[in-house]
Each structure stands twice: as structure tokens, then as C-alpha cells.
Amino acid sequence: MSGSGPTPAQRLTLDRLADVLVPEGRNMPAASAVGVSEGLLDRFLDAAPALAEPLLSLLDEAPAEGLDAFVRHLASQRPGDFAVLSTTVVGAYFLSAEVRRLTGYPGQQPNPLSVASEPDYLDMLERVYERHPGYRECS
């Protein structure tokens, strides 16, 4: 990540904005509870460095009060800025080991294929073959 990174005040603001988008519910923690404004944010910005500048200026712009209205305003009036905020929050949230455990997502892990056995769909395929009129002749 370039520059000195988000300040503590910017991180605090992100936590509060993030909870408007991703509050606690359905047995899942709120965004701030898993640390989206901490190490997860740093990992997110390492992967998507071009979002750092627009994100940080958005955090500076956020008002001290009325964050809920601010987020809704971004969503309805400033889709580009809203995409920066929501992509950061969602991206950082799903990096959390706790969130991955709760959703049952192991990450894009290797898991070898097996092509040794005969496919179990050949009966269905036989029916495709039988009912198909054949390809369209074109001579």
C-alpha cells in the first residue's frame, strides 16, 4: 500500500460507515466487530491500491453525525463513490477468518478432480440424443 495509510480517525469513520452497510444479523458479526478498518483494510488496499485515494477522501468527507443518511445519499446520488465504499467494506469483511468460518468458505483451495469413474448422467444424455432432431442442415 502506498503512502502512510489510513489515520486512526479515518479508520474509526470507516467502522461506523461499514456498520450501516453490514450490521450484525443472521448469526453474522457486524463489519466493525471483525476489524474491517484494521488489518483487513490494509490487506484490501494492498490488493486494490487504486481505491485508497478515493476511499480516504470519502472518509474525510463523512460528517460526524448522520452517517446513515450519508451512506444512503452516496448510494442514491453518487454511485461511483458508493462503489468505492461498499467494495472496500464487503471485500475486507469476507477476508476475515471469522466470517469465512461462519459462512463455510474455505477460500479458493485446490481440490483434485476425479475423472476415473464413468459419468452418472449418461441415461439423461441418451434421452437428449434420442429426442434431438439433429443439427440444422445448411447446404
Q: Please report whether residue 35 would count as binding another protein according to CB under 8 A.
A: no
Touching another protein, residues 76-135 (CB under 8 A): 76, 86-87, 90-91, 94-95, 99-100, 103-105, 107-115, 119-121, 124-125, 127-129, 131-132, 134-135
User: Which is closer to another protein, CB of 59 or CB of 93?
Assistant: 93
Task: Single out the residue of 9, 47, 69, 101 in contact with another protein (rule: CB under 8 A).
Answer: 47
Task: Kindly state the helix (H) or strand (E) to which residue 44 belongs, with its residue range.
Answer: helix 39-47
Q: Which of 48, 54, 67, 81 lies at the binding interface for another protein (CB under 8 A)?
A: 48
Give one DSSP letter per residue of 45-113, joined into a string. HHH-GGGHHHHHHHHHHS-SS-HHHHHHHHHHH-HHHHHHHHHHHHHHHTT-HHHHHHHT---S-----
**Cα torsion through 114, 116, 117, 120, rounded to 10:** 50
Listed residue (97, 96, 99, 94) closest to 27, CA to CA = 99
Residue ranges in contact with another protein by CB under 8 A: 20-23, 25-26, 28, 43-44, 46-51, 71-72, 75-76, 86-87, 90-91, 94-95, 99-100, 103-105, 107-115, 119-121, 124-125, 127-129, 131-132, 134-138
